[in-house]
């Protein structure tokens, strides 16, 4: 059985992503998108602002991050549909497809109607991270929200406005001196 040895360089496709792609393609793109030659989970080399996926038009390659996979299907399918919009803009609309411009947003808002999400404006952060920022805080589950909290701790921006009128609230609880109060409330 002389097996053909030139089998190894076949571009990778991960089954669950192909299944999700096929389903989302049918639902949101009338089945017009071609399954990318490379469609897999992996390290996202140059993550865009949304961070969890990368579509390369010229290579017809769509990568979803390993972290997104760890957050579960709800999360990675959102990342996938985002990248599919980049693909649609490039392959169906004939534009560069890298930006979150009016071409991107036209698809995003069309799909948002089907998902019951709000519309976003071209170039906005909500467009860059679409549809992640439009989902309810607990939509993706515990793993993702924990990770989000950790990012907040690492980038404690804009928390100065919360300067504490602590004197007014201090109770005379004895022995509580060493405690810092107020850990753990996010700004949502």
Residue nearer to Zn ion on the CB measure, 91 or 159: 91
CB of 62 to Zn ion, least distance (A): 11
CB of 55 to Zn ion, least distance (A): 8
Residue nearer to Zn ion on the CB measure, 12 or 101: 101
Question: Which residues would be at the binding site for Zn ion (CB under 5 A)?
Answer: 48, 50
Cα–Cα distance measured from residue 93 to residue 86, given in angstroms and rounded to the nearest whole number: 10
Residue nearer to Zn ion on the CB measure, 69 or 107: 107
Spell out a b/e string for 44-76, using b for 16 or more CB atoms within 10 Å of the CB, else e.
beeebebebbbbbbeebbbbbbebbbebeeebb
Residue 99 DSSP one-character state: S
CB of 116 to Zn ion, least distance (A): 21
Beta-carbon contacts of 36 under 8 Å, excluding residues fewer than 6 positions away, are 21, 55, 60, 61, 62, 87
Nearest to 55 by CA among 29, 33, 85, 10: 85
Nearest to 88 by CA among 99, 104, 102, 75: 104
Residue nearer to Zn ion on the CB measure, 36 or 164: 36
CB of 142 to Zn ion, least distance (A): 25
Crossing angle between the packed helical segments 15-29 and 102-115, to the nearest 10 degrees: 90
Residue nearer to Zn ion on the CB measure, 49 or 187: 49
CB of 130 to Zn ion, least distance (A): 8
CA atoms within 13 A of residue 99's CA, in its CB half-sphere: 9
């Amino acid at each position: 059985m002389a097996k053909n040895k030139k089998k190894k360089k076949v571009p990778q496709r991960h089954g669950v992503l192909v299944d999700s792609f096929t389903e989302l393609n049918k639902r949101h793109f009338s089945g017009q998108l071609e399954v990318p030659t490379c469609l897999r989970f992996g390290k996202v080399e140059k993550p865009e602002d949304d961070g969890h996926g990368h579509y390369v038009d010229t290579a017809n390659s769509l990568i979803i991050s390993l972290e997104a996979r760890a957050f579960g299907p709800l999360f990675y399918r959102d990342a996938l549909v985002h990248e599919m919009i980049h693909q649609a803009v490039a392959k169906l609309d004939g534009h560069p497809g890298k930006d979150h411009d009016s071409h991107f947003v036209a698809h995003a808002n069309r799909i948002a109607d089907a998902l019951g999400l709000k519309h976003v404006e071209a170039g906005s952060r909500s467009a860059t991270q679409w549809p992640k920022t439009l989902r309810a805080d607990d939509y993706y589950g515990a793993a993702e929200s924990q990770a989000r909290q950790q990012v907040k701790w690492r980038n404690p921006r804009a928390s100065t406005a919360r300067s504490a009128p602590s004197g007014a609230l201090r109770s005379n609880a004895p022995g509580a001196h060493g405690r810092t109060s107020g850990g753990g409330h996010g700004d949502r």
